[in-house]
Structure 1
Amino acid sequence: MEIHQAVKNMLQIVEELHKSYPKKKFTLDGRLVGDLGEILVEEDYDLELYEGLEKHHDGETSDGRRVQIKTTMKSSLTFPVDHIPHYYIGIKVHSNGTYTEIFNGPGSVAWNAVKGRKPTKTNLHSVTLSALKKLNAEVPENERIPKRANK
């Protein structure tokens, strides 16, 4: 595929995604994977995304829990340096469009993967999926953000 046509196709897809999910921009500048992950989580979990960008959290559950959502297609997720989110959901999106939940629980539990680290220039810590999966195993079921009843 020729690069100019590929860019045109991607931009057309982004435009169609934005029309279907107007809460997200789906820009190709590094936010695309994150925006896709947020929509996947919103559709499957009991939460609604905030309109536009909000500081520290991406959405809220029906019972008022604020949630930060992080998405990757690689072997690590990010965790903020400057705050501990109320709740944190981290997913890995696979090339076939499915995803795996890596972490779902209080941000304070996920924070154990980065506590003691020095601040970074990007204001984000990188955390391996395996480290977050180990911490996820410690989260009681009642501390997780539930999936929607119809999922």
Structure 2
Amino acid sequence: MSAMVEIPILIAQLYQIVDRLEQIVPSRKFTPDGHLVGSIGEAVAEYSYGLTLLPASFKQYDTISAESRHAQIKLTQGSSIAISYACEHLLVLHLDRHKGSLRGL
């Protein structure tokens, strides 16, 4: 069994920690963002869609498919994304921390 199956469990644990931090310090948000969320999205895309990750910080694309199609991967916790480069394929995933689910958009 691949270690990738641990990803949903680890994401749930991460958000349990976030929730606890926000209970302890209610005046602050501890929202995971930036590279952490981007890397989670890329790992989930690799596992869920059978994609191959390109080297980190590869310009314009994050993955390549078995059919040699490049794709940019975005994971959002909100309702929008930002892209820096035009891309041939874009896979947008949404993370709902309260439902503990990830889905493609």
Q: 2:78 aligns with which of 68, 74, 80?
A: 74
Q: Which has the larger radius of gyration?
A: 1
Deviations 1:69-96 (A, max 9, x none): 011111211223xx32121001111114
Unaligned runs of 5+ in 1: 1-9, 11-27, 103-151
Give the residue type in structure 1 aligned to 2:76. Answer: T
Secondary structure of the corresponding residue to residue 54 of structure 1: coil
TM-score, normalised to structure 1, is 0.45
Structural mapping, 1:62-101, within 5 Å: 62-80=66-84, 83-95=85-97, 96-101=99-104
- Residue aligning to 2:50: 46
Superposed displacement of residue 98, structure 1: 1.9
Unaligned runs of 5+ in 2: 1-13, 15-31
Deviates more, 1:28-37 or 1:40-49: 28-37
Give the residue type in structure 2 aligned to 1:48. Answer: T
- Residue aligning to 1:135: none
Counterparts of 2:69 and 2:57 in 1: how far apart (Å)? 17
Deviations 1:117-138 (A, max 9, x none): xxxxxxxxxxxxxxxxxxxxxx
Off by >6 Å, runs of 4+ in structure 1: none
Counterparts of 1:39 and 1:30 in 2: how far apart (Å)? 14
Q: 1:100 to 1:68 in 2, by over 3 A?
A: same
The Cα RMSD (Å) is 2.1
Instruction: Count residues with an aligned counterpart.
Output: 75
- Aligned: 1:58 with 2:38: no
Superposed displacement of residue 29, structure 1: 6.9
- Aligned: 1:32 with 2:36: yes
Q: Using the aligned pairs only, state the percent identity.
A: 28
- More strand, by proportion: 1
Counterparts of 2:74 and 2:59 in 1: how far apart (Å)? 14
Q: 1:29 to 1:93 in 2, by over 3 A?
A: closer
